[in-house]
Amino acid sequence: MNQIFRAISILLLAALPIACGGPATPGRAPLEGVKIGGPFSLIDQDGKPRTDRDFAGRYRIVYFGYTFCPDVCPTDVQTIGAGLRAFEAQDPARAAKVVPIFVTVDPTRDTSAVLKAFVSAFHPRMVGLTGTPQAIAAAAKAYGIYVEAEKPNAEGGYLVAHSRFAYLMDPAGMPIALLPQDKTPQDVAAELNRWVR
């Protein structure tokens, strides 16, 4: 399964019109014109229904993962949260326009209460979203996120393989860039500083 996951991730990245490591065309967003994102109807960490329209007019950092993830999800979300805090220290007014969003790929275990404890550990404004398996699958598909849950083990535990992207979306919900959640908080802050107006 890991080979399939890697192959799909490589194909998804190859389809994106960006130059990894190189500068984007001045003024032009790396993901401009890419069909990523779309409407969703999910439930937040407080049990309230949320749709994509609730975030209209704000920049969004959208990351898909799950709270039972043993390694990459907590690390990535920590980097995203710390990067946003660094950007807040540099420019509080622009940073206030950014909302970090964590969407679970494991709605069976990631209830609103579980998400509340998770997202609050990384940033006070982070929104955690869950929903029905069908609603989560639709959201993941709209964002080009590959998801595959393993069969549960004898104790009922399982891992969920998924794509590892942190999308920066503009106030209209259009994709701007991939944030470097696998680097440092300073790298995330630099990208936010570059694109948030």
Name the band, by pLDDT with cuts 50, 70 and 90, for residue 141: very high
Beta bridge pairs of residue 104: 65
**For the segment 26-43, what is each residue's pLDDT rounded down to a tens digit?**
579 999 999 999 999 999
For residue 3, pLDDT beyond 70: no
Q: Domain limits of the chain?
A: 2-11+38-195
Question: Dihedral through CA 23, CA 178, CA 119, CA 163, nearest 10?
Answer: -140
Rounded-to-integer distance, Cα 96 and Cα 93, Å: 5
Average pLDDT over residues 173-187: 97
**For the segment 50-71, what is each residue's pLDDT rounded down to a tens digit?**
999 999 999 999 999 999 999 9
Supply the pTM of this predicted model.
0.87
Domain at 2-11+38-195: CATH code: 3.40.30.10
For residue 119, the model assigns a pLDDT of 98
The CA-to-CA distance between both ends of the chain, in Å, stands at 41
Name the band, by pLDDT with cuts 50, 70 and 90, for residue 12: very low
Rounded-to-integer distance, Cα 19 and Cα 22, Å: 5
Cα–Cα distances in angstroms (integers) from residue 115 to residues 48, 126, 130, in the given order: 13, 10, 8
Given a contact cutoff of 8 angstroms between Cβ atoms, the answer to whether 135 and 41 are in contact is: yes
**Residue in 67, 60, 156, 74 with CA at minimum distance from that of residue 115:** 67
For residue 140, pLDDT beyond 70: yes
